[in-house]
Amino acid sequence: ETGVTQTPRHLVMGMTNKKSLKCEQHLGHNAMYWYKQSAKKPLELMFVYSLEERVENNSVPSRFSPECPNSSHLFLHLHTLQPEDSALYLCASSSADRYGYTFGSGTRLTVV
Amino acid sequence: AQSVTQPDIHITVSEGASLELRCNYSYGATPYLFWYVQSPGQGLQLLLKYFSGDTLVQGIKGFEAEFKRSQSSFNLRKPSVHWSDAAEYFCAVGASGGYQKVTFGIGTKLQVIP
């Protein structure tokens, strides 16, 4: 399966900037996820949307703000980030009747 | 709470040799188990999954994994490794429900030498 697209692939932002990450899937999946991947740490689940409703928010700082306007699109709005937020941000989607995620290629975020 | 342990952070094998990557999980009920692979600069790709039935599951790229309930293990195997298998491999355990809450291991980085 292909079909989860993340943009941009790379992003460098200053600590006072505001930017957004975009994720798009046209697989007909009903759940979408944001994960953070940092070196030497397990993937950290940030947010989950099921049927466009946020169902999980794992103690993520408020400088990260998700948005799911419809079942195909997921955004992660970023503002006032810290250098420790530099990581690979992965979007994934899943279907209720078929176990396993489909991941996008990720956005490599660098906060300077 | 569910958890996954991958005891080997880094493994090096020769091309053509067999491979086994270890995974142990903790989960209260019958687990849903997965192996994913990540090539540099890419997202994760599902290799195979188990949630019921035959405890030996076949996946893509010639990989297989065996579920052993008594050992809480789900080890990944390949009989003959190719240079293109060099990547990072993640074991994961999940729960069913309206959405899939999956916990990942820390990953095992595989290096393949000629």
B103: which chain A residues are within 8 Å (Cβ-Cβ)?
A: 42, 45
Of A45, A51, A104, the CB nearest to B43: A104
Longest CA–CA separation in chain A, Å = 42
Q: Do A99 and B41 touch (CB under 8 A)?
A: no
Contact B99 A31 (CB under 8 A): yes
**Contact check, Cβ <8 Å, A4/B43:** yes
Report chain B residues whose CB lies below 8 A from the CB of A94. 99-100
Question: Tell me: the pLDDT tens digits for A14-70?
Answer: 988 899 999 999 999 999 999 999 988 899 999 999 888 888 777 899 999 999 999
How does pLDDT run across B72-88, given as a tens digit for each residue?
999 999 999 999 999 99
* C-alpha A25, offset from chain centre: 12
Q: How far apart are CA B89 and CA B95, in angstroms?
A: 20
Q: Give the model's pLDDT for residue A1.
A: 47
- Indicate yes or no: CB of B42 within 8 angstroms of CB of A43: no
Task: Write out pLDDT tens, residues A58-109.
Answer: 789 999 999 999 999 999 999 999 999 999 999 999 987 777 899 999 999 9
Element (H, E) at A10: strand A10-13
- Tokens standing for residue A83: 């250098």
* Cβ within 8 Å of B, A 4-23: 4, 6
CB contact (8 A) between residue A99 and residue B103: no
Give contacts of A102 with chain B, Cβ < 8 Å. 46
Average of pLDDT values for B30-44? 91
Residue B105 in this model has a pLDDT that exceeds 50: yes
pLDDT tens per residue across span B59-71: 999 999 999 999 9
- Tell me which residue of B38, B3, B45, B12 sits closest to B111, measured CA to CA: B12
CB count in 10 Å sphere of residue B75: 17
Q: What is the reported pLDDT for B96?
A: 65
